[in-house]
Structures are given as structure tokens and as C-alpha cells.
Amino acid sequence: MATANGAAAPVDTVTTGPIEGSVKHYQEVDDLRIPVRRINLTNGDTFDVYDTSGPYTDDNATIDLEAGLPKLRDTWTKPQVDGAPTQLAWARQGIITPEMRFIAAREGVEPELVRDEVAAGRAVIPANHKHPELEPTIIGKKFLVKINANIGNSAVSSSIAEEVEKMVWATRWGADTIMDLSTGKNIHETREWILRNSPVPVGTVPIYQALEKVNGDPTQLTWEIYRDTVIEQAEQGVDYMTVHAGVLLRYIPLTAKRVTGIVSRGGSIMAAWCLAHHQESFLYTHFEELCEILAKYDVTFSLGDGLRPGSIADANDEAQFAELRTLGELTKIAKSHGVQVMIEGPGHVPMHKIVENVRLEEELCEEAPFYTLGPLATDIAPAYDHITSAIGAAIIAQAGTAMLCYVTPKEHLGLPNRDDVKVGVITYKIAAHAADLAKGHPHAQRRDDELSKARFEFRWRDQFALSLDPDTAREYHDETLPAEPAKTAHFCSMCGPKFCSMRISADVREYAEKNNLTDVEAIEAGMAEKSAEFADSGKQVYLPVVS
Amino acid sequence: MATANGAAAPVDTVTTGPIEGSVKHYQEVDDLRIPVRRINLTNGDTFDVYDTSGPYTDDNATIDLEAGLPKLRDTWTKPQVDGAPTQLAWARQGIITPEMRFIAAREGVEPELVRDEVAAGRAVIPANHKHPELEPTIIGKKFLVKINANIGNSAVSSSIAEEVEKMVWATRWGADTIMDLSTGKNIHETREWILRNSPVPVGTVPIYQALEKVNGDPTQLTWEIYRDTVIEQAEQGVDYMTVHAGVLLRYIPLTAKRVTGIVSRGGSIMAAWCLAHHQESFLYTHFEELCEILAKYDVTFSLGDGLRPGSIADANDEAQFAELRTLGELTKIAKSHGVQVMIEGPGHVPMHKIVENVRLEEELCEEAPFYTLGPLATDIAPAYDHITSAIGAAIIAQAGTAMLCYVTPKEHLGLPNRDDVKVGVITYKIAAHAADLAKGHPHAQRRDDELSKARFEFRWRDQFALSLDPDTAREYHDETLPAEPAKTAHFCSMCGPKFCSMRISADVREYAEKNNLTDVEAIEAGMAEKSAEFADSGKQVYLPVVS
């Protein structure tokens, strides 16, 4: 890949190699190879988990950033039928595409379920034909909850190399999609490097780049500049685009009395344009032309909530829900063009107002996948907004939100660095997984059970390997008990060798099983005579096992 | 304070001084001085917040750790009436104690509400007569959600000095109570140092110290050893005690098929004792005697959930709820002796099973305050269990839990250090506050609104000062924009000076207000002619304000 000015490639290295305790594995399903992270347990078992990390965690893969990832989907058959060449159109015609089969295998569901949900518009598969490097993923409430990580440089900070590494790093820890929100220099080139090397769908907000083209003055934006930007990005392979077409002129005064006005960048740009021209925005008036462009590439709409609340005080207000109604109208138009649609949501919402957001979105937008930013459940903890928002994210995902946009500890304060990206991703994997459990996803609890069994049996290495972040789990354990024997010790630093509830409990179990004491009747009938025996064995429980 | 062996005092210094951007202030209410943290805003306003930090954050206070804190409550009148000398008994007799008035002022409610909730057993005021240094606090669902921080040494790690500093440090950041869970050396002396210097209620689990007295062999425990330990601790001033009196013999086999058996230390000790002796535990058989001791000092019961689930798989099972029913019976007995009671709860519970815990506890335990450990909403994220549990904690508090026991990042992995204690406390302040908002606490949202206003007006210093952790918020901001002018800059590092939604939005507001465009009709009628004017002013929005 040549750089814009012919200089040396700006990106020469990224993080590679498997996550500790696991290897990359491929499940062969017909002609497809489905990537999984295979965790090797110390008891000889293996445990496979969903894997978003692409070839970077494959020790057998050769990573060539200039060449980009292998063009996996170029060999896949594309259905040749009348209508828009999109997953939505194909699904409606009863066609199960390779993307749908790939996803079904990843999710452990039937391909027909994938097709059916896409056909109904309740799920989307963001997969631009020009992004063949992609390992397809699905976003919809009947599937695993997905998370997005925002990256991108700004006028103040960061380079192409940093952003490509952030993409690799975020997907390593579980980001299902990436949004490149660059607003600084080299927007086109940064995106090119990210797209050619990204195994996950890439989203953008085209208005950011369009604004750069008019030197940052939103009043100078035009449909033509915007349209050309969208085509430029679609040609590169962007899989989904945030479009703030629901910011109507008459909604803007509804924000005037808010505590925090308009906090969406896209929303504020469009509001400024609408006010300056006293017209509805070109995103709204040219929406059908936009649909025709997106349909051609199968770019998915992410209809932006430009008027989302930026504080607890502004949650669920008239401006927010007025825009949501307009997004519902636009959803119908997009789908009539065969374009896939998801809907973006807040923001800042106190817990008791969260579920209403999902119900209203489902009602107004034909259950199009909901894609929310948090929401933050309180405003009072800058530096901890990954946590304030994980609370809201878990609740909104339980209620049916299909994808969660992560929030990092730097939210409201600065640009996330590599460490912040990891903390944001892990935090959102927690929220997403907690929701998968609460929704009763058929496979979700297996990992909890496997880890808890390892914990109960003092298989420390397995506990680390099964966790979302083995490196940090091991590091924390080693802070108090660094010695290698402690990794197999039947105790931990919390209680020490003489005093461990897990050990007592394991002993209780062993004793109960040995004596068939698994129900109340048995214990009532048979235990008195056994008590002396237990007292003897009980004393042995407390002998240290590590010399 | 002399040490046990006459050596130099083991604790010579702790963290003192106010939190950045604030000073200690006392609101005079009748004869009482109510401590608050007074935040000084850059616009000249002040904003007072609830303050748990005691005299340590008061620049005018002299801290003498050997002498202990001033004995605040020694000058308060203690009602002389028939019956148990407890807040519960007094409340039932219609007496409003100084503790109740102090609490009413802290919470911003009427003293009569405090008395009424205590009388009904729906709230407790843990305040041992022998802990006069205490600034009283209330735990009950009609009041602010409280959080507890566990500290204490173990056989493996830490010193008295570290534990006293952890107490001061935890209350600095907002811990409403402290539990001293020491299991290692110098248990008595550590507790003495903590109690004499603690401005918040201190809880313990007396069985831990009793176990030390029998060299760690639970089968050797007796009622007499336990009773003497309880009296020893009550004499020192412990305000509440966890008692696992609900672990009955017939419940133990119910845990045998669990994924993680019995994970409560107290629960496993009592289970081992019950099995060894084939008798109901001395906690259960001597419960009324225990009530008589606690009543004398006004120590509050925290009835422990010895059979709480230790994994998602074990949540809400027969063993857990069987014990809860027994705790309900014990609640009635304790209250008949005039002893205040709260009930401990789980643990590990997936989101969809959380609310049932609260409803059942309220039904079975006469709405005694519920005090839960998290719960963790998933098992798969060791090193992030402050987050997995903050999700569960926020939800269970919204449902009516009165106090949340914090979880630190080291949970399941090691003993928390000072940094972990802070992260745990801040995380739980978030969960508690999110619940206060969701429950509609009358004053809770004021702080969110104040901070959001500061954010919208680019008052960076106020945003830091109003946050739960001003130090970290400022540090994160300074990472990308360290220069002093950036503290007053009308932009941040996320978008840079040319591209800021907050600025655009502020401009939209100004424009709308200037032109009376605060409703749809006005904008429809009057805006066309104004658009040129806005286009002019709009261009100025983007001029950098920092040269």
C-alpha cells in the first residue's frame, strides 16, 4: 500500500499472537472456516469462544499490513438476482448467503434463523462488497449482543499507526465492529489502512470528512460534497455509516432549554446547517438518493440520534423522541430500497428511563437493530464513564439492544489511548455478556460455568484463560502470591492456607456424596452416626497443601 | 493508645486534607454540626455534598491517631426509658434521638421519617454506645443507598497501619461503613485502632476471630468461645456484626450439587461445624442469648447469607432461599428483643434473577434493610469484578437494597491494596447514585445537573470538583491537554478547537433565545428571515478561543 506522498508505510507493526492460554482454531463448516479462540484447559479439555480478532491471533498467519488481510469473501458466491445486491434483499428472496452461513456457525444457530431475522429487518449484516477482508457478523436482538469500539484521530492527537494498532487491539479483546471517527489529518488514508486490515465491520460518520472538505464550516456543506464523500467511503469498503438525517428544523428549538443542548457532533453540525439555511437538511431531502448509493455497495445505515441526551436531565425528552419518530419513517424508506438499517440510541439515561427507549425504538422503527452509546446511568463520574455506562448498557441490552457502542474511561476528558481502548472493550464485553445471560442465550452461561468450575477446583491457570482478560487476572493474582506453586495451590491470598471456604465447601461436597447425603431425608436419617468420621476428615482440610 | 506489647504505635500517619476543589464545612442544625463536603465552584456558587470522610478532610482538625477521633456522641443525650437501649426500641416509643436528628439533616429529610422507618424495622442506625466517635448514618431503602468497604488483614498480608489507612482512604472517597474482616495476626489491636479512628459504623464477622482462638479448626468452636468474642468486640464498639445463624443442618446437602458449593467463609465454617457435630449451630440454638448481648450495646445484626451463590449457576437456588426463610424467622426474634437487623444478600446473580431476591427478602424479612455483595452479573471477568458487580449492584439497589458491599478489582484474585479500595469505593458510589436517581431520591439529580451544566459551559475545574474522583478526572484531562489554558478552553481534546458540538450547541441555544425561538411555531414563523444572520454568527463559532 503506497502512502499518499510515496513515503514509507506509516504502519509497520501491530500486536500479534494468541491470547494467553489459547490458540486460534478454525471450525470447518462445509466450505467455510469459522475462526474461534480455543482455550486449552489444564484438565485436557478445550473450550471454544467466539473470536473477533482475525488472523492477528493466529500463530500460523503471516501478517502483511501493506498487503492487507486475505480477501476471504472474494471467493464466496454472490447471488445474481433482480433487486438491490444486499443481504436484506437476498434474505427476503429466501436466499441464504455464505455470510449468513458463516454467521450461523459463529453464533451456533440455524442459517434459516439468520436469514429470517435479516429479512424481517430485525438484524443486519454490515458487509460492504468492497470489504472482502471481513469475517461477517450479525447485529440483532436474537443473537449475541455485539459491541463497537470507536477509534480515530483528531485535530489534536494521534497517527495512522496508532489507529491501526487500536483497531487490531480492540478486536483482539472482542470488539465486534470498529468505527473510524477520524476528524484530523489523513482521514482517507487512515481509513484505507484500517479497512484493508480489519477483520470486523468498519463504520464511519461521513459528515466528519465532508466537514473537513469545507474547512470546518458546517454552513458551507452541500449535498454534492456529502454525496461524493459517501461514495468515496463506500468505494473503500466502509460497512456501515452513521447518518443524522432525523435532525429536522422544527426539532432544534426543542433542545434550547436542555441542560446540555445538542451533544452529538453530527447532530450539531446538521442543526447549524439547518438554522443557517432555514431548510431541512440535505440528508433528509436527499435521503432516497442516499439509499440508492448505499444499496449498490450494501452499506448499512446507522441512523444517528443527533438529538440524543447529553445528560440525565435531558433523557427521554421531546427532542429525542421526535427525532426517533423521524428515524422510524426513514427506516421504512431505506428498507424499501433494500438497504439494511440500524438505529442509534442514547447517551445519558437514568436506569428507570432506559427500557422505554427500547420499546419506543422497536415500535417506531419496526424493530430495526438498536445500537446505543451506553447509556450512562449518571453524570457524576467522569474518569469512570466506562462504568457509569456499562450499567446502562447491560440494562438496555437486556431489554433488546443489539449492539453497544463502548465508552472508555477517557469519555468527556480526552482521547482514549491503547490501554483505555482495552478497558472500554472488556467493560463492554461484560455488559454484553451479562445481557446474553439475562436474555437466556442458549450458549452464554457455558463460559460462566466453566470458569466457576475452574475457580472451585483451584485451577488458577484455567480461571485466567477462561476470563475476558487473562493477562490482567494473572497479574492481579501474582501481586500477592507471585510464586509459581501458588498457581496450583488449593488456596488464595484472600484467606490464606488455613482458612478457605472453597476448600471447606469441596470437603463438604465430598463428604455428602460419599455418604449419599444429597437430600434432606438422607441427612436426617443417616448423618448422626457419620459425624465423628467427618470431624476426623475435617481436621485434615486445614493442612497446608503447599510446602 | 498503647500497643499490645508496649512497642511504638504501629500507625503514625494517614491521608488528610480536603478533596480537590472542596473544603470541609459544617451545617449547624440546632445543637448538631452536620459535616458536608462544600465544593467551591468557579462561578462563585457552592455545592454541598454528603460527606463520610470525618475530620480527616478538615484542614482545621488536629488528627491524633493514638488519641482517636473526638467522642462526638458522648455529649448527646441517651433516652432513659424501659426496654432495650437501642434506636429501634426508642423509635418504637416515639423518641427522636440525636442520632436520628443528625441523620435527618444529613439526608435532607424530616426526623420523623427517620424515626418511623427505624421503628418499622425498615431502616437501621448501626451505632454501638461504645463507638462515640461515630457520625451516625442510616441504612434503609427510603434513604440514600449506602456502600460498605471491606478491609482487614489476612494470614498472608498487610499490617495495622495499612488497614487504618485503608479505612481513612475508603471513607474519604465515600464509604458509608467499613467492615474489618481481619483473619490474621493482631485482630483485636487492629480493630481497636480502626474503631477509635473511624467516623463511620464498623462491622465485623465475629466467627473469624473466634476461629483464630481455636487455631483454625471450626469443629472446635463452642458457644462460649463465640459469645466471649462477641462481647469483646461489642465492648470495643463494633456497630454491626455478621452472624451466619441461618445455616441449618438440613440445608447443607442442598449445596452439594452446586457448581461452587458454599463460598461464604462464615457459611462454610458453620457448615463444617454442623456436619461434624450433627447439630444445629450454636448461633442458631443460642440466638436469643446473642440478641440480649447485642441489645445491651445496640449492636445491629447483619444476618449473614452463609449459603449465598458463588456463581451464576447457583443463583436463586433452594439452599439460598431456604436460608433466607430462616433469616426471616431470626429477624422477628431479634426485633422482639429490640435489636436492629439487616439481611445480607448475594453474591453472583444474572440480571434477570436479581429483583426476585429483593422481593423475597422483603416478604420474608419484614422489609429489614437488605445489604448485598454486588451481585456479580457474570462470572467471566476476574480482574473486573468491580464492574461485573456494579451492574448487579445498581439493579438490586434500584429494586430496594439499602446498602451495597463493594467489590474491588482484586476480587477472587488477591487482597485489595489502597488503589483497589479507591476504585471499589468509587465504582460503588456510582452504582448507589445511579439507584438513587432511578428511585427518584429528591436531591440526587442535583449533582448530575450541576456537573452537566459545568460540562456544557466548559467549566473544567468545576466538572472535576463535582465528580466523584476529581484527581483522576483532572489527570485524564491533562494527559491530552496538559496546558493550564486548556482548563478554561471552550473545547476539549476529543474534537479540537475547530469542531465542538458543545460549542455549536451553545451557539444554537443563544441564537434561539435571542430570537425567541423556543417553540415550533416561533421557528416556523420567524426563522427564514434570520437565517442569514445566523450564518454570519455561525462562522465565528469556529474561531479558536485559546491563542
For B:390-419, CB contacts with A below 8 A are: 390-391, 394-395, 398, 409-410, 412-415, 417
Confidence of residue A311 (pLDDT cuts 50, 70, 90): very high
B123-124/B46-50 β-pairing: unpaired
Mutate to test the interface with A, among B37, B387, B427, B481 (most CBs of A within 10 A): B387
C-alpha cell at B368: 429489614
Q: Bridge partners of A249?
A: none
Contact A421, A158 (CB under 8 A): no
Across the interface, do A410 and B476 touch by the CB < 8 Å criterion?
yes
Say whether residue A468 is in contact with chain B using an 8 A CB cutoff: yes
pTM for the model: 0.93
pLDDT of amino acid B135: 98
Across the interface, do A505 and B260 touch by the CB < 8 Å criterion?
yes
Mutate to test the interface with A, among B379, B462, B539 (most CBs of A within 10 A): B379
Say whether residue B159 is in contact with chain A using an 8 A CB cutoff: no
| pLDDT (tens digit per residue) in A182-212 | 887 789 999 999 999 999 999 999 999 999 9
Say whether residue A384 is in contact with chain B using an 8 A CB cutoff: yes
- Round to whole Å and give the CA distance between B340 and B351: 30
Q: CA of B265, closest CA in chain A: separation in Å?
A: 5
Q: How many CB atoms lie within 10 A of CB A71?
A: 12
C-alpha cell at B533: 444572520
ipTM of the predicted structure?
0.92
pLDDT of amino acid A541: 31
Q: CA of B239, closest CA in chain A: separation in Å?
A: 24
- Round to whole Å and give the CA distance between A215 and A234: 22
Integer angstrom CA distances of residue B272 from A82, A275, B221, B280: 72, 74, 10, 11
Residue B48 dihedral angles phi and psi, to the nearest 5°: -95, 135
| pLDDT (tens digit per residue) in A330-340 | 999 999 999 99
Q: CA of B233, closest CA in chain A: separation in Å?
A: 21
Which stretch of A117-126, A278-287, B248-257, B533-542 has the lowest confidence by average pLDDT?
B533-542
pLDDT of amino acid B545: 27
A123-124/A139-140 β-pairing: antiparallel
Mean pLDDT of chain B, nearest integer: 89
Contact B78, B129 (CB under 8 A): yes
For B:226-265, CB contacts with A below 8 A are: 249-250, 252-257, 259-265
The two counts, helices (H) then strands (E), for chain B are 19, 13
Indicate if the pLDDT at residue B546 is higher than 80.
Answer: no
Residue with cell 474461534: A36
Which stretch of A157-166, A184-193, B384-393, B505-514 has the lowest confidence by average pLDDT?
B505-514
| pLDDT (tens digit per residue) in B479-536 | 877 666 566 565 555 555 555 666 666 666 676 666 665 554 555 444 444 454 454 4
Indicate if the pLDDT at residue A229 is higher than 50.
Answer: yes
Say whether residue B427 is in contact with chain A using an 8 A CB cutoff: yes
Contact A11, A160 (CB under 8 A): yes
pLDDT of amino acid A184: 76
Annotated binding site of B for [4Fe-4S] cluster: 492, 495, 500
Residue with cell 451492574: B391
Indicate if the pLDDT at residue B351 is higher than 60.
Answer: yes
Integer angstrom CA distances of residue A501 from A490, B209, B221, B267: 11, 15, 16, 8
Indicate if the pLDDT at residue B59 is higher than 90.
Answer: yes
Q: Bridge partners of A17?
A: none
Say whether residue B325 is in contact with chain A using an 8 A CB cutoff: no
Indicate if the pLDDT at residue A535 is higher than 50.
Answer: no
- Round to whole Å and give the CA distance between A351 and B388: 16
| pLDDT (tens digit per residue) in A432-471 | 999 999 999 989 999 999 999 999 988 999 999 999 999 9
Mutate to test the interface with B, among A355, A387, A420, A439 (most CBs of B within 10 A): A387
What is the CB-side half-sphere exposure of residue B369 using CA atoms within 13 A? 30
Task: Name the DSSP class of A55.
Answer: G
Three-state DSSP at A260 gives coil
Q: Which residues of B touch A350 (CB under 8 A)?
A: 434, 437-438, 445
Which runs of consecutive H residues, i.e. helices, occur in A120-244? 160-172, 187-197, 206-213, 223-236
Residue with the larger pLDDT of the pair B257 and B5: B257
Q: CA of B216, closest CA in chain A: separation in Å?
A: 7
Say whether residue A214 is in contact with chain B using an 8 A CB cutoff: no
Q: Which residues contact B383 (CB under 8 A, 6 or more apart)?
A: A467, A469, A472, A473, A475, A476, B409, B410, B413
| pLDDT (tens digit per residue) in B446-490 | 999 999 999 998 899 999 999 999 999 999 998 877 666 566 565
Annotated binding site of A: 150, 179, 208, 244, 264-266, 305-308, 344, 348, 371, 412, 492, 495, 500
Q: What is the full DSSP assignment across B50-82?
A: E---GGGG-TTPPP-TTT-S--GGGGS-----S
- Round to whole Å and give the CA distance between B173 and B171: 5
Q: Which residues of A touch B184 (CB under 8 A)?
A: 496
- Round to whole Å and give the CA distance between A167 and A14: 9
| pLDDT (tens digit per residue) in B240-257 | 999 999 999 999 989 988
Say whether residue B494 is in contact with chain A using an 8 A CB cutoff: yes
pLDDT of amino acid B184: 76
